[in-house]
Every structure is written in C-alpha cells, then in structure tokens.
C-alpha cells in the first residue's frame, strides 16, 4: 500500500536505527545484504526478480527487511515458534515442497505464521514467515503466488530457508520452477564513470569491479553509476521504480536529466567512499 519499491522499509528501519542509536548496526546489515547478493543494483526486489514472477515481488521483498528488523529486535511476532518447532520446520520444508502446495496446506501443516505479509484476499500473492523469538534465528519465508484469481487460493512457489548466499537460499515447488523467471527476462546493465565537474562521462564498463580497478589505477574522483540499456526514465517507469506525479514529469528536460536510480559508487582519488 506504500508503493511498489522498498524505499518505505529502508526509510523506516533507518529512522528506527537512528532513534535506537544503532545506525552502525543498520548499515552493517545493509552491507551484509549486498555481500550475500540479497541486495543488487535494483535492491532486494531486484534480487527476488530472479526467483519469483513480478506479481510476487513486493511481499517477498518486505520479508527480507522484516528479517533485519527481527535481528535488530524491532519485530513483533504474531506467533513465536519454539526452538524444536523451528528445527523440525527447517529440516522438513525442502522435502515438503517436492509437490505443489496451497495456502491452506501451509497453515494446516505449519500453523499460524509468525508474520503474515500481504493482505488476506486470496486473489493476490503473500509471504508467510516463521521463526522463534530469538533474534539470531532467521525467518523461514514461504512465498505464495496468485494473479487476480488465477487459482482459487494462493499457491506456494518457493521457500527461503537456507543461510548463506541469497540465490542458494531457496527450495521450489514444481509450480515455482515453472513460474521462475528466465535469464532472458532481465535487462543487462553497464557502469559509467562521470568525473566531478566534468561535462561528459569518461568511461564505461561491463562490471563494477572493472570500473573500480580503472578508477584506482587513474586515481579519479567522481561517481561510478550503473545504467540499464535504454532510457533511464523509461526503465524506471516500466519497472515501477518511478511513478510520474507532477506536470513536469516526462517532459524533455526531465527525461534528459533523469537519474538511473540504480547503484552508484562515490570515488575520491580512486578510492571507494562509504554511502552518504
């Protein structure tokens, strides 16, 4: 209800960290998401776009930030599993997903979730999460999909239940494997360097690592930014990262000056600077 991207979660959790005096912890959590590839140029939502169809991304994305909130002690659970219940859940879920399941199957098998993300309308996707009251225990998240009543009730596509790298954290149902996006559905990106006070960009790279190596070699100062192929404004609108809401949005001047809105790295004398 607060938009298609994750800016609300990031603003809320950072504000909570500021009040709590734990901004350093919050930033470390954000770095950890990047390190395990749960946050890419297009955010957590972008990482999930390789796992779930477009309709299921919003609630799944929220589950990652809910997990951060749980680790920071900010999440109120509707139900806390015991350590024994969670251990059994974690050991059973992979095999349980070997055949297609529905929302009713989830609740009948595992009970009321610790956290229900998404509405109760059966025509739409949602994510159910299970965990203990211990902040050190990650959420086990079951992702369910429906698209305006394609099924009588949501069906399970995947569960995020393994620690470690985000792409390896999932088990899928047969329906989840059928609906998993293919690589050709994702648009490649390039990295462009623009020096401070420079009128034009001065370098383009296939990867951030290549750009960072070049910047270190030449000790340049500026921004290394990730761009999708095509127009930055058009891509942001089509992906739901930007919604035109003012008269000047979409005008020639606005489109010509539009920021790509993807990952960008500030460099000083070729060295990467911490996020502002």
Residues 72 and 118 both lie in one domain: yes
Burial of 272 (0-12, 13-18, 19+ CB in 10 A): middle
CB 107 within 8 A of CB 122: no
- Write the pLDDT tens digit of every residue in 47-72: 999 999 988 899 999 999 999 999 99
Q: For residue 163, give Cα distances in angstroms to 102, 170, 245.
A: 24, 10, 40
User: How high is the pLDDT of residue 1?
Assistant: 57
pTM attached to this predicted model: 0.69
Tell me what pLDDT residue 251 has. Answer: 93
Residue, of 245 and 84, whose pLDDT is higher: 84
Compute the distance between CA of residue 48 and CA of residue 4 in angstroms, rounded to an integer.
13
Query: Coil, helix or strand for 247?
Result: coil
Parallel, antiparallel, or unpaired: how do β-strands 264-268 and 126-130 relate? unpaired
Number of domains in the chain: 2
**Is 44 inside a domain boundary?**
yes
Q: What is the pLDDT of residues 100-144, one digit of tens each?
A: 999 999 999 999 999 999 999 998 999 999 999 999 999 999 999
Instruction: Note whether 179 and 210 are same-domain residues.
Output: no
CA 195, 199, 203, 206 dihedral sign is: positive
Q: Grade residue 160 by pLDDT with cuts at 50, 70 and 90.
A: very high
pLDDT confidence bin for 24, thresholds 50/70/90? very high
Sheet hosting strand 203-205, strand order edge to edge: 203-205, 189-195, 222-228, 264-268, 271-272
Q: Do 129 and 218 reside in the same domain of the chain?
A: no
Domain of residue 29, residue span: 7-184
The percentage of the chain sitting over the pLDDT mark of 90, rounded to a whole number, equals 67
Q: Do residues 189 and 204 make contact, with C-beta atoms less than 8 angstroms apart?
A: no
| Chosen domain end from 139, 160, 184 | 184
Is 223 in contact with 265 (CB distance < 8 Å)?
yes
Do 97 and 203 share a structural domain? Answer: no
Radius of gyration for the chain, computed over Cα atoms and rounded to the nearest angstrom: 21
128, 230: one domain: no
């Amino acid at each position: 209800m607060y938009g298609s991207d994750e800016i609300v979660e990031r603003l809320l959790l950072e504000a909570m960290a500021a009040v709590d005096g734990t901004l350093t912890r919050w930033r470390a959590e954000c770095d950890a998401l990047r390190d395990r590839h749960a946050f890419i140029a297009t955010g957590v939502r972008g990482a999930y776009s390789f796992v779930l169809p477009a309709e299921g991304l919003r609630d799944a994305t929220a589950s990652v930030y809910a997990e951060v909130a749980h680790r920071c002690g900010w999440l109120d659970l509707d139900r806390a599993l015991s350590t024994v219940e969670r251990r059994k859940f974690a050991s059973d879920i992979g095999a349980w997903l070997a055949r297609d399941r529905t929302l009713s199957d989830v609740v009948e098998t595992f009970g009321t979730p610790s956290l229900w993300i998404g509405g109760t309308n059966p025509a739409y996707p949602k994510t159910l999460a299970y965990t203990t009251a211990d902040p050190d225990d990650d959420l086990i998240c079951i992702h369910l999909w429906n698209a305006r009543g394609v099924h009588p009730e949501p069906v399970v596509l995947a569960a995020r239940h393994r620690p470690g790298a985000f792409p390896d954290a999932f088990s899928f149902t047969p329906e989840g494997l059928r609906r998993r996006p293919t690589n050709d559905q994702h648009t490649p990106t390039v990295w462009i360097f623009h020096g401070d006070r420079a009128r034009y960009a001065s370098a383009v790279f296939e990867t951030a690592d290549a750009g960072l190596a070049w910047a270190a070699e030449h000790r340049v100062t500026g921004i290394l930014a990730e761009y999708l192929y095509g127009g930055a404004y058009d891509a942001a609108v089509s992906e739901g990262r930007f919604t035109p809401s003012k008269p000047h949005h979409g005008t020639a001047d606005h489109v010509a000056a539009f920021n790509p809105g993807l990952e960008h790295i500030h460099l000083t004398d070729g060295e990467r600077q911490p996020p502002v």
